[in-house]
A and B are shown apart, each in its own frame.
Chain A
Amino acid sequence: MATGHFKQGIAGGRLSPEVYAENFSDLHPPLDAHEALVEADRCYFCYDAPCMKACPTSIDIPLFIRQIATGNPIGSAKTIFDQNILGGMCARVCPTETLCEEACVREAAEGKPVQIGRLQRYSTDIAMEEGKQFYERAAPSGRKIAVVGAGPAGLAAAHRLARYGHDVTVLEAKEKSGGLNEYGIAAYKSTDDFAQAEVDYVTAIGGIDIQNGKMLGRDFQLSDIVKDYDAVFLGMGLGGINALSAEGEDANGVVNAVEFISVLRQARDLAALPIGRRVVVIGGGMTAIDAAMQSKLLGADEVTICYRRGQEHMNASEFEQDLAASNGVTIRHWLQPKRVISEDGKVSGIELEYTALDGDKLAGTGETVTLAADQVFKAIGQSFVPASLNGSGAALELEGGRIKVDAEGRTSLAKVWAGGDCVRAGEDLTVTSVAQGRDAAESIHKALTANGRA
């Protein structure tokens, strides 16, 4: 019987324990002290630094790097946390190649930016390992604030509010806190249970009560918390996933990529995780790459990403595409799913149609190709599920299917702010969510205390 890579169908135990461990180890191992000094010295300490502007949380990057260069990693960590209390996770998961590192002047100069993400990890790791807390709570304000969702937006908001002396209750639907940091994101970007360590680090400030297993719309209603708390911050993620709109997509073996990643992140034993011998991933964003990469790392023999537009249209960064390609993932463009082929109720292949742009409009060309597949992952985008919001009371105004907020994160309802993936503004990135949570917290504090004065 075929074993390992060659096991037919969807199966676990394709690799040896050592290979699983190696495959899911840190993608970018931490810099050691000397590497960090050498890399930090490459920073030009730019004036009005482009990297800083490219960072959604506006971390003072030249300053934190200079602090590393001068042997002051603790000062460096504080510079980072002042702007971004989840700086540790952002250092691991930010697509720096399209943010700070893309803007780095050394990218312009020599195509080799300063490795800002890895440097950020260097100093935040040191501070977090030492359990160094930089912020003390202000005197209790007597105000109570509810935060819905313990993901990056909720945690950033909770921390900033707790700093101001407010009492924060975080209501989280899942068993564990961290949101996509815990349940999303490729495993090799967040090793050693870092997401939970970060939740502990953030909540160590005190005044933050996280209640897990509390789901909006199921366990409590928005109208209740609006009544019971002085302010509410909504920081939910995207609960829905887009359908393939392909014939036969209900077949056994067609899987939601987000769900796959979530299961993988929670898996204790990767060998027990079944994966197809031949995997096709439909989509062109980070989720598609993460699903494809991890399929390959779990031992899938053939992994193909099919994206309906061209390489230049992919949401996944070039770095991510290269990473997948170098791990043996095939990326095919101008293909859209037409029909999932099943045998005995199980996926056996997928028929795709070639596409082309007709002006601005994408259209099938009529020509098709069929790929053998035991497993098909859907990664063509997620959507916000607003149903939970409006169980009772006034309805929140939406915009493009997500919660509408102003520049400070205020929703259409009084006392209610929102941020993170559930709002329309900004890219769906951890770092964007942190910025939105933080800024909404500032706005809440200002509103509750008459322009910041308690």
Chain B
Amino acid sequence: MADIRNNFVGIKSPNPFWLASAPPTDKAYNVIRAFKAGWGGVVWKTLGEEGPPVVNVNGPRYGAIWGADRRLLGLNNIELITDRDLQTNLREMKQVKMEWPDRALVASIMVPCEEASWKAILPLVEETGADGIELNFGCPHGMSERGMGAAVGQVPEYIEMVARWCKQYTRMPVIVKLTPNITDIRYPARAAKKGGADAVSLINTISSITSVNLDSFSPEPSIDGKGSHGGYCGPAVKPIALNMVAEIARDAETRGLPISGIGGVTTWRDAAEFLALGAGNVQVCTAAMTYGFKVVQEMISGLSNWMDEKGHRSLDDIIGRATPNVTDWQYLNLNYIAKAHIDQDACIKCGRCHIVCEDTSHQAITAMVDGVRHFEVMDDECVGCNLCVNVCPVEGCITMVPLAAGEMDERTGKPVSPIYANWTTHPNNPMAKVAAE
């Protein structure tokens, strides 16, 4: 049976599934329930400075988008960091860590960008026995207006500076949580590394307005007729998060920097994808906030069964396995040629492949043959774009079939070349590197 024990920057947990710093981890009551359900670790809801705690709005904090059966696809929140007293949180953290020594407990922290503030809080956190700290440089709403959260994460110099203070003032591993609300995720990641951080975690939520109420014309969630952008998360953000994780995993400057993957992890499969792209573990929030803590049981058994089936013995066997396959567009093999193929037995004749190809792509799929509705790919027109595969409602009905070297590509009238060739050497590229004579 696969070993899914996790060791992330020296923090050990029985599995790689942590609850992210968020409402589910705001107090001992929830965290204990989570541990009982099987979660490997938690990042406690972000702590602020000593003193009067922040206050939250007293109206709706969350907005969402749904599929047709009210399946929650994306969630947005305008909740701030913990609104409980710092000492209460610290006391509970200490108690929980004592009672659950095998689970990871990481403290998320957000205090002003002043050395004194960090210097003051770190010993207090350290005293709880927490396994590490996560610097919340990610939340895009509310706290960012006060110069914290994403406001810090958007300035690499600040990230580096604060990370350095933290490494200086605590023995605990330092994880920097990054905001995706930035043009190139590699810069903040590099800054974290330069500052000496042990790891980064990402993504935090994406600035968002989930919807507009068309009666009141207020953005949702609406507080007395007004709305403010929130942080977006859930299944809808996973592709964005996967890319950002991969960018950091394959960047020459940050390669090897441990990553805790966050963003729309809902199933074991999502988690496996994050791990494959280079995350050392994953953090989950929306799935728990949608279904409760029990979802982790599916994640644990799913991941473990898949690993058994594929012969992966431990997480190390899968972490980063897909990273080398992420490359720049310019290095993609332009001599790789695939054509869509429709399995006529599986086809239910909805015609969607035809109409999207006809209206929006390459006019490569028939609709009618000999007076009968019939959907078939015309190889001499098909560019292999995959749109038909994506819109087909029957999984596996349309597949992309690669042409073997030497086979004729009917669209170009040329045989498929066996040689790998990319844009960098393509004759149409004005910047093409001419092969040495």
Contacts and interface: CB of A to CB of B under 8 A. Distances in A.
B69 A44 contact: no
Contact of A105 (B68, B349, B355, B367): B349
Interface in B345-373: 348-352, 354-355, 367-368, 373
B349 A108 contact: yes
Contacts of A41: 67-69
A108 B368 CA distance: 18
A44 B68 CA distance: 13
A220 interface: no
Interface string B38-71: 0000000000000000000000000000011110
A105 B355 CA distance: 16
A46 interface: yes
Contacts of A45: 352
B359 to A, nearest CB: 9
A410 to B, nearest CB: 28
Interface string A39-51: 0110011111110
Interface in B129-144: none
Contacts of B67: 41
A50 B68 contact: no
A50 B373 contact: yes
Contact of A49 (B68, B70, B351, B354): B351
A38 B68 contact: yes
Contacts of A37: 68-69
Given A40-B68, A41-B69, A50-B373, A109 B352 contact: no
Contacts of A279: none
A298 interface: no
B373 A48 contact: yes
Given A105-B349, A108-B349, A47 B68 contact: no
Nearest to B394: A109
A48 B393 CA distance: 16
A7 interface: no
Interface residues of A, number: 17
A106 interface: yes
A78 to B, nearest CB: 20
B69 A105 contact: no
B351 A46 contact: yes
A38 B71 CA distance: 11
A444 interface: no
A21 to B, nearest CB: 33
A34 B349 CA distance: 28
A108 B345 CA distance: 11
A105 B350 CA distance: 6
Interface in B278-318: none
A105 B351 CA distance: 10
Interface in A95-112: 105-106, 108-109
Nearest to B368: A48
A49 B348 CA distance: 11
A38 B68 CA distance: 6
A316 B69 CA distance: 35
A108 B355 CA distance: 20
Contacts of B68: 37-38, 40-41, 69
A126 to B, nearest CB: 18
A47 B351 contact: yes
B69 A47 contact: no
Question: Of A37, A41, A48, which is in contact with the most chain B CB atoms at under 10 Å from its CB?
Answer: A48
Interface of B: 67-70, 348-352, 354-355, 367-368, 373, 393-394
30 contacts: A34-B70, A37-B68, A37-B69, A38-B69, A41-B67, A41-B68, A41-B69, A44-B350, A44-B352, A44-B393, A45-B352, A46-B350, A47-B350, A47-B351, A47-B354, A47-B355, A47-B367, A48-B355, A48-B367, A48-B373, A49-B351, A50-B349, A50-B373, A69-B68, A105-B348, A106-B348, A108-B348, A108-B349, A109-B393, A109-B394
Interface of A: 34, 37-38, 40-41, 44-50, 69, 105-106, 108-109
Given A38-B69, A44-B393, A47-B355, 13 more contacts: A41-B68, A41-B69, A44-B350, A44-B352, A46-B349, A47-B351, A48-B351, A48-B368, A49-B351, A50-B373, A105-B350, A106-B348, A109-B394
Which 9 residue pairs of A and B lie closest in terms of their CB atoms, listed nearest first? A41-B68, A47-B351, A47-B355, A109-B348, A105-B348, A46-B350, A44-B350, A105-B350, A108-B348
